[in-house]
Amino acid sequence: MSSRLVGWLIITLILLLCSSCSYHDEVESTDEYVIIVSMDGCRWDFPQLGHMSNLESIKEKGVKANSMQPVFPANTFPTHYSMVTGLYPDHHGLVNNSFYDAELGRKFSLGNREAVEDGAFYGGEPIWVTAETQGVRAASFFWAGSAASIKGVRPSIWKRYDGDIPYEARIDSVISWFQLPEKQRPRLITLYFDQPDGSAHDHGPESPKNYETLHYLDSLLGVFMSKIEQLPIADKVNVIITSDHGMSATSEERVIYIDDYIEDEWQKSRGWTSFNPVEGYEDSIFLALKEAPHLSVWKKENIPDSLHYGTHPRVPPIVASLDIGWSVGRRYQKPSRYNGGSHGYNPYYKDMHVIFYAYGPAFKTAYVHPTFESINLYSLLAHLLDIKPSQNDGDIKNVIGMLNKTHQN
């Protein structure tokens, strides 16, 4: 082979390598970002009732869903974890805010930090694990499961839950993450606010106090959206604002007192809507609760298929569900404690449905999407990040219509 031919081959290889490098750089520079914000307990109609103008402004520049339907039970941890795994609680294992795991011999509850941060309680694969294992950096300023090592993985940036951290500081941290050098910058961020859940519980979902909270949250969202618009990567950021469960008004006039029907001695632990009978008392509890008004009760194996609940070992032998707006209590408690709001009901009740707003380069503008189930969020997030989703119960086909044509493939 002549020296001239060898020289041309070397030049050609160099040109090909440079072409490949520039193409890679171009692909990297067009990568989009996703932030999903959850405002706990934000019912589907709160933006209209509370005149949340900043949130409602997204209707024109992005997508609004009629509502998003949570999973059963409509409580904080199972719903949030279903949103990021695409799995029903029956399949990811967080079957309620508190439960007992016989195999581990331990109880899980929201107030138990050791349990909350123990990956052994978490099944499925949250979106930040899917992302990180495929080379996409993720960050979380709180979310159910984000402080636990799940499959040996946490987000590249994560925070141990501290409800005292001001919302403004959380927003500033998220903005600072978006300003990191490109190789360190997360492409997926989760952000959690624990309101309006607290105010709706304490004062009622349609109370002046809750409306004040909604106004405050809306002002924060206005600041947040404004700060995103000022980022150099603003045109690459997809923003999703949603919630975990809705809220229904409750009253001391609508209370079922469990101790009128069953004895504490019949249960291994005191239950409210989930019951672990002492051996021999399963039928006693079941038959007694069947007499309670405004309460649906099932043995585990007979829970309606529509609730997608009852096959996981952590689901107790007897499960009950209240009619919307009703509470379950005990006679020693003050009746006034039931005045306010609550959730956890059958997710087919509209009061349990939540907000969904989204905007950014991937989304259509001025588009209203039909109601969809929250288990489809995981597939949507994976699609936006261009990563392969893990097995889940959702389907991208249920939400692909909210994306513009260039992002539907």
- Active site residue ranges: 76
Question: CA 294 to CA 166: how far, in whole Å?
Answer: 40
Are 111 and 408 in contact by the 8 Å Cβ rule? The answer is: no
Omega within 30 of 0 (cis) for the link into 196: yes
Are 70 and 352 in contact by the 8 Å Cβ rule? The answer is: yes
Q: Write a three-state SS string for the chain.
A: CCHHHHHHHHHHHHHHHHHHHHHHHHHHHCCCEEEEEEECCCECCHHHHCCCHHHHCHHHHCEEECCEECCCCCCHHHHHHHHHHCCCHHHHCCCCCEEEECCCCEEEECCCHHHHCCHHHCCCCCHHHHHHHCCCCEEEECCCCCCCCECCECCCEECCCCCCCCHHHHHHHHHHHHCCCCCCCCCEEEEEECCCHHHHHHHCCCCHHHHHHHHHHHHHHHHHHHHHHCCCCHHHEEEEEECCCCCEEECCCCEEEHHHCCCHHHECCCCCCEECECCCCHHHHHHHHCCCCCEEEEEHHHCCHHHCCCCCCCCCCEEEEECCCCEEECCCCCHHHHCEEECCCCCCCHHHCECEEEECCCECCCEEECCEEHHHHHHHHHHHHCCCCCCCCCCHHHCHHHECHHHCC
For residue 231, give the amino acid letter: L
Q: Given the DSSP bridges, would you call strands 98-101 and 106-109 parallel, antiparallel or unpaired?
A: antiparallel
